């Protein structure tokens, strides 16, 4: 596990984007595991900037997203498919037929999750998985207590996650109570993992993930067992290091 220290959010975003840039240059047809939320937005903005300068080509890239809210359509402005289109896909030359996001409207959750797992294998596995980290140590929507061996599954969101995400909705009541998420097993099978973290509110979770006990109560702690993890975090997130 390597720690890359950044001065602030913008510096963190640029350093993380450089790692993704290198991955695409080394393997143009790579499979990127992508994340949503406020943490990676700056990283996506930097990638778009390089694309507009003809320094980056997404034409052969495949993407597999971490998660999606249950009950939201791809057209819903709060869905993660909409997020990815808005912050990345609509601005680069990626083939949207090769961008995969869990189906928030699936009527058969178990079947949909099994199909998502099968598709990861069909694509050859994830070369680089981008992650944020929740204030309670969650990665994806794998909340504290999640069994490490789980693959894609339907998650009941904790109150802390609902509280953290309500800023994106009209009210807390509008935040979905369930979501689909890649499981810890899927994440750990990625060849490389890139974690981005910014802000003092992530400091405890990040410290516990790196130096704490490996426990399902801090889902990100399992990353200690992966052989290729890079954490790019700003000074505020690294205040306990």
The pTM (predicted TM-score) of the whole model is 0.94
DSSP labels for 199-227? SGGGHHHHHHHHHS---TTSGGGGGGG-S
* Active site residues per annotation: 67, 136, 138, 143
CA neighbours closer than 13 Å in the CB half-sphere of residue 100: 25
Each of the 241 residues of the chain gets a pLDDT tens digit; together they read 999 999 999 999 999 999 999 999 999 999 999 999 999 999 999 999 999 999 999 999 999 999 999 999 999 999 999 999 999 999 999 999 999 999 999 999 999 999 999 999 999 999 999 999 999 999 998 989 888 999 999 988 888 888 888 888 888 888 999 999 999 999 999 999 999 999 999 999 999 999 999 999 999 999 999 999 999 999 999 999 9
Q: Which residue ranges make up each domain of the chain?
A: 2-214+223-233
Distances (CA, A) of 227 to 115, 124, 151: 27, 19, 19
| Class at the top of the CATH hierarchy for domain 2-214+223-233 | alpha beta
d(CA 109, CA 67): 13
């Amino acid at each position: 596990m390597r720690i890359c220290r950044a001065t602030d959010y913008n510096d963190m975003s640029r350093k993380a984007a450089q790692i993704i840039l290198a991955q695409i240059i080394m393997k143009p047809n790579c499979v990127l595991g992508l994340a949503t939320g406020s943490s990676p937005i700056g990283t996506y903005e930097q990638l778009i900037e390089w694309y507009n300068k003809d320094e980056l080509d997404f034409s052969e890239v495949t993407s597999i997203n971490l998660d999606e809210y249950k009950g939201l359509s791809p057209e819903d402005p709060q869905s993660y498919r909409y997020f990815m289109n808005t912050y990345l896909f609509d601005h680069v030359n990626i083939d949207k037929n090769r961008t995969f996001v869990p189906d928030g409207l699936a009527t058969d959750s178990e079947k949909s999750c099994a199909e998502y797992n099968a598709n990861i294998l069909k694509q050859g596995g994830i070369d680089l998985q981008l992650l944020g980290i929740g204030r309670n140590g969650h990665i994806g929507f794998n909340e504290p207590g999640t069994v490490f061996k789980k693959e894609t599954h339907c998650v009941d969101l904790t109150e802390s996650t609902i509280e953290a995400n309500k800023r994106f909705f009209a009210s807390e009541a509008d935040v979905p109570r369930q979501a689909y998420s890649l499981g810890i097993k899927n994440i750990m099978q990625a060849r490389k993992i890139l974690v981005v973290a910014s802000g003092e509110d992530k400091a405890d979770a990040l410290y516990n993930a790196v130096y704490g006990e490996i426990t399902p109560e801090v889902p990100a702690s399992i990353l200690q067992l992966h052989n290729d993890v890079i954490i790019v975090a700003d000074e505020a997130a690294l205040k306990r290091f």
